[in-house]
Amino acid sequence: MFTPLLSKWYKEHAEGSNAEIVFASSDRDEATFKSYLGEMAWNLAVPFNDSIKAKLSSEYGVSGIPTLVTVDAKTGELISKKARDGVMGNPGAWPFRPRTTEDIVAKSTVTKDGATRPLTEVISADGLDYLMFYFSASWCKPCGAFTPKLADWYGKHQAAAKEGQKTEIVFVSADKSSGEFDAYRAKMPWAALDFDHRQEAADLNDKFDVEGIPTLVLVNAKTLEVVHTDARPLVLEAPDAFPWAPTPIALAPLLLSRINTMKTVLLFTDKAEASTDKAEAGLLAAAEKYFADGEVQFGVMNAENPMTGRIRGFLHYTGDSDSAESCRCILLDIPNGVKYEIGDTLSGLSADGAIVKGVDGVFASTVSPVPLS
């Protein structure tokens, strides 16, 4: 159990580290909350059932408990979302600041075609524009299915890459032995982080918040800034659109990869028996207005999108029938558990400025939220 370990850390380190802990409860009732707080070495807590707890969970992307987040008390700057690992593995390393990508890369060596070089040399000498870190393992069945497809994409991309798109993939292994690693690496035409760089592999997993494999992280090789946290669906569904730059109307796989963490405006056109061109033009106008802010994404749920039915089911829109007027537009806010209904008829959504006004209304708080059920 983590709480007793954290209490021990608090007693031994908190005062000297000038640190304080605040408990944000997921308990079901106030009595249990108070009882549990009484077992902790600290006494600060978000009030039970206060809305601030949900906001904190959304802000820090909390998807499971226990989670320990460290924040600079003076600036509010996020330091680490994985401080639990620090308490358990290196308790004296407060405030558990993760290594920078620059530091990890500087201490990494990779091997390709039998030649081993520092990763920094690969980036500079080869004139790379992008790096793709491929988190995978030989024992992972989904990885085994994806690796040949990635190899096919890699071969085509390397042969036809345009200026500014020179790319190398680096395999980051989760294999259990060097033998497994060597056998799996032999199937890959790209570079691999050397197996004995276990700490660098672990730090890259932490840095890019890798929660499962296969994961393919796209990074700008010159700045080491993340471009996409998981480019795997983009390789599969939009292979020719590299480097998958954001567009006002998001590519379907990119839209879906961010739908759980980002406000998303969806236009459902799959049931319409009349032209949806005007409604889609209205969606584009709204997307172009809000695109630069980066706070909301826009997408079309048409009959060709394989995820349309699933999203309809999630939103309980499966009862909509095919008709000349069948069309919906909503702003979906999964992090806050609500949706905003902008319109539900094709004629209404096709009117000049209708979707722009609807989205404006959401941000002006003149459109009421509907809880997701």
* Lookup: tokens for 43: 């006494």
CATH code matching the domain that covers 2-89, chosen among 3.40.50.300, 3.30.70.1560, 3.40.30.10, 3.40.50.11540: 3.40.30.10
Confidence band (pLDDT; 50, 70, 90) for 246? confident
pLDDT in tens, 341-358: 999 999 999 999 999 999
pLDDT at 46 exceeding the cut of 90: yes
Mean pLDDT of 206-220: 94
Distance CA 285, CA 280 (A): 9
pLDDT of residue 338: 95
- Amino acid present at 186: A
pLDDT at 261 exceeding the cut of 90: no
CA-closest candidate to residue 190, choices 103, 254, 126, 99:
126
Q: What is the value of pTM for the model shown?
A: 0.77
Distance CA 109, CA 121 (A): 9
- Residue environment code for 314-347, b if the CB has 16+ CB neighbours within 10 A, otherwise e: ebebeeeeeeeebbbbbbbbbbeeebbebbbbbe
**Poorest-pLDDT segment among 35-39, 103-107, 210-214, 292-296:** 292-296
pLDDT at 36 exceeding the cut of 90: yes
pLDDT at 373 exceeding the cut of 90: no
Q: Is 42 helix (H, G, I), strand (E, B) or coil?
A: coil
Confidence band (pLDDT; 50, 70, 90) for 310? very high
Distance CA 308, CA 184 (A): 36
CA-closest candidate to residue 78, choices 66, 93, 68, 89:
68
pLDDT of residue 317: 95
Mean pLDDT of 160-174: 95
Mean pLDDT of 293-315: 94
Mean pLDDT of 29-51: 95
pLDDT at 16 exceeding the cut of 90: no
pLDDT of residue 118: 96
Report, at the CATH architecture level, how domain 246-371 is classified.
3-Layer(aba) Sandwich (3.40)
pLDDT at 175 exceeding the cut of 90: yes
Confidence band (pLDDT; 50, 70, 90) for 58? confident
Q: Where are the domains of the chain?
A: 2-89, 101-239, 246-371
Half-sphere exposure of 49 (CA within 13 A, CB side): 6
* Residues comprising the chain, all counted: 373
Distance CA 17, CA 15 (A): 5
pLDDT of residue 119: 96
Q: Tell me whether the CATH fold assigned to 2-89 matches the one assigned to 246-371.
A: yes
pLDDT at 253 exceeding the cut of 90: no
pLDDT of residue 224: 96
Distance CA 359, CA 341 (A): 9
pLDDT of residue 3: 96
pLDDT of residue 300: 97
pLDDT of residue 262: 92
pLDDT at 140 exceeding the cut of 90: yes
Q: List, in sequence order, the alpha helices (H) in 137-247.
A: 141-160, 178-185, 198-207, 232-237
* The domain made up of 101-239 is a member of CATH 3.40.30.10: yes
